[in-house]
Structure 1
Amino acid sequence: MEPKIEMREALISEAGQIWEIIQQAIERRRQEGSSQWQNGYPNRNTIESDIAKHFGYVLTVDDEIAVYTALILNDEPAYSSIEGAWLSDGEFVVIHRVAVDEKFSGKGMVKFLFNKIEEFTRSQNIKSIKVDTNFDNLAMLRILESKGYSYCGEVMLAGGMRKAFEKIIF
């Protein structure tokens, strides 16, 4: 039987479990030799704030949390200044803080997540998704390429320069 995979808003009662998943991702990035997420961000307060602001989302597999992400509508101050050019200047959804539970690692969950984010974006009548990642986050760079995101340039976020991507969906 196919597993039931859904994306929904995260609940504040899930903050502890989500923080565990984020900590796994922080450790994975450290083991890969990345500087991303190695300076105390994101932290538990970041996650609780995401959820309180209705930015926090989870991808569940048979009701078990597999992936956490933050989806923010039209608000990423760092994106107003890009070395390069965005594909569009209308409304957009920003993807931040993608973290996969180790139990679901390597099972294509982030690709499922990106499909669900496209559905979510369409449901909001928004045509653009923007995302940034560290230059050394090879797994995310591969996913962005496979999902048809266009490299637009670089943006400065806390922690340094990030590669910025956009996808126009119709």
Structure 2
Amino acid sequence: MAHNNNVEFRKARMSDKDIIWEIIQQSIERRRINGSSQWQNGYPNEQTVESDISKNFGYVLTIDNRVAVYVALIFNDEPAYSSIEGAWLTNGEFVVIHRVAVSEEFSGQGLVKKLFDYIEEFVKSENVASIKVDTNFDNPAMLKILETKGYVYCGEVYLAGGIRKAFEKVLM
């Protein structure tokens, strides 16, 4: 990626909804082709995106004002995380990362790693010390990113009809 590109991390707007939904559909299809069971049961869907944006959970990473990556960031609210087979590192406030999706047009450029940097800065700026995230066993790309970014495997959670690997990173 050229260094003169203008990269911005911001809240998603309702006007971004169609492009975000398109990007999520690309991710659903990519997972299907890669043989992953994640996101193959009608979730997330267009309503999920609309709900994320209206609740201020939706964020985008834009390159030259074009949406490249989508993510939902949810403060202190993931009921599934209250029962973990294992143990979280902390019991205080946290932010949950959900629904990371990269546009086909920008895939393979390391943008998810960049996204995680922006998320960590943002979460720290909100004075929240911990990020929690889960992913499928069969999502090697995300598992690799979590490992690279220093997320600690905490155990398993049951979410959206399946067992997920749960991770946490303590920021401060």
* Same topology, TM > 0.5: yes
Which residue matches 2:33? 31
**Structure 2 residue identity aligned to 1:125:** N
Which residue matches 1:97? 99
CA-to-aligned-CA distance 1:61-116 (integer Å, 9 cap, x gap): 11111000000000000000000000000000000000000011000000010000
Which residue matches 1:62? 64
Pick aligned residue for 1:2 from 1, 4, 10 = 4
Pick aligned residue for 2:117 from 111, 115, 118 = 115
Which residue matches 2:76? 74
1:118 match: secondary structure: helix
TM-score by length of 2: 0.97
Deviation of the 1:2 alpha carbon: 2.5
In structure 2, distance between residues paired with 1:82 and 1:53? 26
Pick aligned residue for 2:50 from 48, 59, 82 = 48
> Which ranges of 4 or more aligned residues in structure 1 deviate by more than 3 Å?
none
Q: Answer yes or no: is the 8 Å Cα contact 1:129–1:167 preserved in 2.
A: yes
1:37 match: secondary structure: coil
Instruction: Give RMSD over aligned pairs.
Output: 0.6
Deviation of the 1:60 alpha carbon: 0.6
The answer for unaligned runs of 5 or more in structure 1 is: none
In structure 1, distance between residues paired with 2:33 and 2:152? 28
Deviation of the 1:5 alpha carbon: 1.3
In structure 2, distance between residues paired with 1:16 and 1:66? 13
Which residue matches 2:136? 134
Percent of pairs identical after alignment? 71
